[in-house]
Amino acid sequence: MSTETYAVELRDVRKRFGKTEIIRGANLQVRPSERVAIIGPNGAGKSTLFNLISGRFAASSGEIRLNGERVDGMPPYEINRRGLSRSFQVSNLFTRLSVFENIRCAVLWSMKAHYAFWRFLSDMHDVNDRTEQVMEMIKLDRKRNALAMNLTYAEQRALEIGMTIAGGASVVLLDEPTAGMSQSETQRFVQLIREATEGKTLLTVEHDMGVVFGLADKIAVLVYGEVIAFDTPDKVRANARVQEAYLGSVLAEQQAAAAGAHG
């Protein structure tokens, strides 16, 4: 048996809602610093898988490991303390606070989770330094005083990424980070995600194949609650089972849509 320590590992993970098994023996081994996109048809269980990894749902059976340690059964904040951060949604932003204040809140939460309160108070300058650093990473330093509600949609989504990475998690889960963006915004945003998550392990659920192929080192294809392929983009694209189950029709649709938009 392999002794390699994975950043995220799923072993025969199952999840039932009532009598219906939604995740049906999922296996996945994500190495540190890998960028992985989880793709699959609607209802395949992608969000459920994210909810299991982040601790929002308890698995019915199987093992989930973070950096080698079992985390299945732990509440989300315990998993977060161990270095996993799941994306904020635009709806989680404090709309009446500035960019700086939003990020600072996220930095403070993470420090509170990690340190005793006395230490946390003595580290206020660290909090501000970290806040500055994160604002630069998401390219919102020049909007530091803008209220979140006055940002463009793409900027709000960048702020979400900032709040997600603020605590310095080594494993980051992003749920459809470019959903709702225009093509040109999406391209810029993929670059922003790349830079902001440099060196981290990234798991993302994504429907846009342009983003998937532009961002991911590896793609996990989830169909009916099972990972039917986990490989590099080229190999996944060439995989006959994936073509048949999902990718063939999706790629054809997205190529047709892109041709329509340009034609």
Residues in contact with ligand ATP by CB under 6 A are: 17, 22, 40, 42-48
Q: Quote the least distance from Cβ 76 to ligand ATP, whole Å.
A: 15
Nearer to ligand ATP, 83 or 225 (CB): 225
DSSP 229: E
Residue 142 CB contacts under 8 Å (≥ 6 apart), including other chains: none
Nearer to ligand ATP, 47 or 187 (CB): 47
Backbone phi and psi for residue 30, each to the nearest 5 degrees, phi listed first = -105, 125
Nearer to ligand ATP, 20 or 145 (CB): 20
Q: Quote the least distance from Cβ 20 to ligand ATP, whole Å.
A: 7
Q: Quote the least distance from Cβ 3 to ligand ATP, whole Å.
A: 32
CA-CA distance, 59 to 53, in Å (whole number)? 9
Residue 53: CA count within 13 A, CB half-sphere:
33
Nearer to ligand ATP, 13 or 44 (CB): 44
Here the tokens at position 55 are 């601790």
Q: Quote the least distance from Cβ 46 to ligand ATP, whole Å.
A: 4
Q: Quote the least distance from Cβ 156 to ligand ATP, whole Å.
A: 21
Phi/psi-derived region of residue 73, left when phi > 0, alpha when psi is between -120 and 50, beta in every other case: left
CA-CA distance, 136 to 24, in Å (whole number)? 41
Task: Please calculate the CA angle 248-191-205 and round it to the nearest 5 degrees.
Answer: 45
CA-CA distance, 182 to 256, in Å (whole number)? 17
Nearer to ligand ATP, 48 or 80 (CB): 48
Q: Quote the least distance from Cβ 16 to ligand ATP, whole Å.
A: 9
In this structure, are residues 211 and 178 in contact, taking their beta carbons and an 8 Å threshold? Answer: yes
Nearer to ligand ATP, 40 or 214 (CB): 40
